[in-house]
Chain A
Amino acid sequence: MEQQDRIMDGDLQTLGLQSILKMLALSGKTGKLYVYSGPETLSVGLRKGQIVGLHEEGVPQPDLLAMLCLINRLDPARVQTIRELAQGDMQVTLATLVERGWMTVSEMQRRLEFAVTQCISHALRWVNGRFEFHRQLVPMDSKMLPLDIDSVLLEALRQADEWEEIAKEGVMHLTRTTVARWQPEVSRDVRSMELNAESIEVLCLSNGELPLQAISLALMMPEARVAHIMTRLVALNLIEVVDTAFEDVLRQDLADRIMRSQNALAWRKRASDPVQHLHGLLIILAECINELLVHHGKHARVFLGRGQISSIEIVRYLERRFAPPLQPLSSQYPILETANFSHGQLNCNEILALDKVVKGQQLEEFYWEAVQGLSAFLRMLFAELLHDEVGSSSTGRQLSAAWKLFLFEFEQEVQQYQTYRAQRAARAARDRNATQPSPTGVAQNRSTVPEVDGRSFWSSEKRRSI
């Protein structure tokens, strides 16, 4: 931007955006107005005092196509076609929709006008900041018909007033970047709640990914009204506001715990004896279960926003929540009867100390049963925990993917033991046959029987090949 082209600048406290726009409209100026406030920048293209384009720096353009698809305005096949053509440009998207006859010209014009009004309405509430007007800059290329500044300002001011009104009603926690998502469990029938069409549309778009501003653009409903509806939906327990800072902490904590369990698994792989191997797996399972319990004690939904929670309350909650699901597993895997909850942790010491009571084949059988039982409990625990803490949000999906990979690695270890068991059973069967005299007098070929003694239980090379 050339300095000599800048014909006007100043700060917003001296001259507000409303006055600047009025002045430029009255003098019929052509050029570009830049308004800066903190990290936000707005640029408005003007031609002969009329708005011909607008751009917000640093604000990602909402995925209008995905939103139209969510509210059943476009089918996914059409969305895909337009997406490939438009490459994320909202104006090209709208123009292509019109070209294909999937949107009327007037609707495109209304959508573009609405987007401009929303941005100006937002900028009108900036108190501190600076502005610059550059006359020589060619106004932005736009599909939009030139807009009269007076009518845009009138609507923008009305919308800004709506924000003020809802702020007076106490809706202070919602902003245009607020993201809401559906509650994981809604037991009531949504149709019985007598929600109007607008509320249902906002509910449909509250998928944990779209900010309030994008929902407003998709529905062409002022941001303040969307915020008002969201507040009502939150009160009805249909949606919840996503706390990204909290989810970051939660994601980090859980990822670190999974990483620790994976590392323990990698080290336990070095066991050469099947009993030792199962014992190692049991230690990993017990540690992993208790890591997850500690994590859930910190991040459970019931404790959110309650400040410091006493450890007794956490212990009671964890035992109340997770001891009952252990009971049915105990009937399937009786060895789990020896595991019990103590101080909010699953105490598996009796299982781990079984080698002091039994040995040989019997010990191996007990360990194997415990591995299966604890593995089932671990899966259930993680599913419950994730569902409670983050539901089906993107954080939940990411953590779930990492968890599945960890389980896959764990399963590989279990499968090796299963292979070993199968080989052992096969050898036992052959040995039984070998003790009976062969009717044809031909000697049994024993060279194909796999070696399953302690030393060749599974070598590192075998593990890699599996």
Chain B
Amino acid sequence: MVVPTVLVVDDSPTVRKIIQMTLQREHIRVVTAGDGLSALTSVADEAPALILLDIQLPRMDGYHICQIIRKNLQFRQIPIIMLSGKDGLFDKMRGKLSGSTEYLTKPFDSAELIQTVKKHLANWQERVPTQYENTRPRLRYRG
């Protein structure tokens, strides 16, 4: 059985572990990254069906990563859910402008996370083959 892969990008190992634990129960494969550069490498290597992206990250923030992914032809259609403790309108707007699909405010509970992730994974199999077929994913950071 082919299972979707979700990339979790957060600098907190606790958050990464809890999200991994929660999503694996739903038969979703989870890969994690603790900073922006590792996140970009994981996007290229794993071609995830969905990205959960924290805003405050070391070296490169979530908005910047989101913009890089959105500018890439192969990965631009991956849904990106921004994770942050901030729930202000300004941050949501900034997330939207940088190309995020949805905004999840921390601390979210497991049920809310599962619901949001499943919503965006509904037709992941239709998206993935056309996007990645016969192509070697390439992502370059010109930071």
Contact = CB atoms under 8 A, between A and B. Distances in A.
Contact of B107 (A252, A256, A406): A256
A251 B17 CA distance: 13
Given A263-B85, A464-B58, A258 B14 contact: yes
Contacts of A409: 12-14
B15 interface: yes
A260 B105 CA distance: 11
Contact of B85 (A252, A266, A398, A399): A266
Contacts of B17: 401-402, 405
Interface stretch (B73-81, B93-101, B108-116, B120-128): B108-116
A406 B110 contact: no
B18 interface: yes
A266 B111 CA distance: 22
A266 to B, nearest CB: 6
A398 B14 CA distance: 12
Contacts of A406: 14
A102 interface: no
B118 to A, nearest CB: 15
B111 A259 contact: no
Contact of A402 (B21, B85, B107, B108): B21
B12 A255 contact: no
B21 A398 contact: yes
B110 A252 contact: yes
Contact of A259 (B13, B25, B58, B107): B107
A255 B13 CA distance: 13
B21 A255 contact: yes
B14 A402 contact: yes
A248 interface: yes
Contacts, number: 54
Chain B's interface size range is 10 to 19
Interface in A229-262: 248, 251-252, 255-256, 258-260, 262
Contacts of A262: 12, 14-15, 18, 107
B41 interface: no
Contacts of A255: 18, 21-22, 110
Contacts of B111: 252
Nearest to A464: B58
A408 B108 contact: no
A260 B60 CA distance: 25
Contacts of A258: 14, 18
Contacts of B108: 259
Which 5 residue pairs across A and B have the least CB separation, nearest first? Answer: A263-B107, A405-B13, A406-B14, A405-B14, A262-B14
Given A252-B109, A263-B85, 11 more contacts: A251-B21, A252-B22, A255-B18, A255-B21, A256-B109, A259-B109, A262-B14, A262-B15, A267-B85, A401-B17, A405-B14
Interface of B: 12-18, 21-22, 25, 58, 85, 106-111
Interface of A: 248, 251-252, 255-256, 258-260, 262-263, 266-267, 398-399, 401-402, 405-406, 408-409, 464
5 contacts: A252-B110, A252-B111, A262-B12, A409-B13, A464-B58
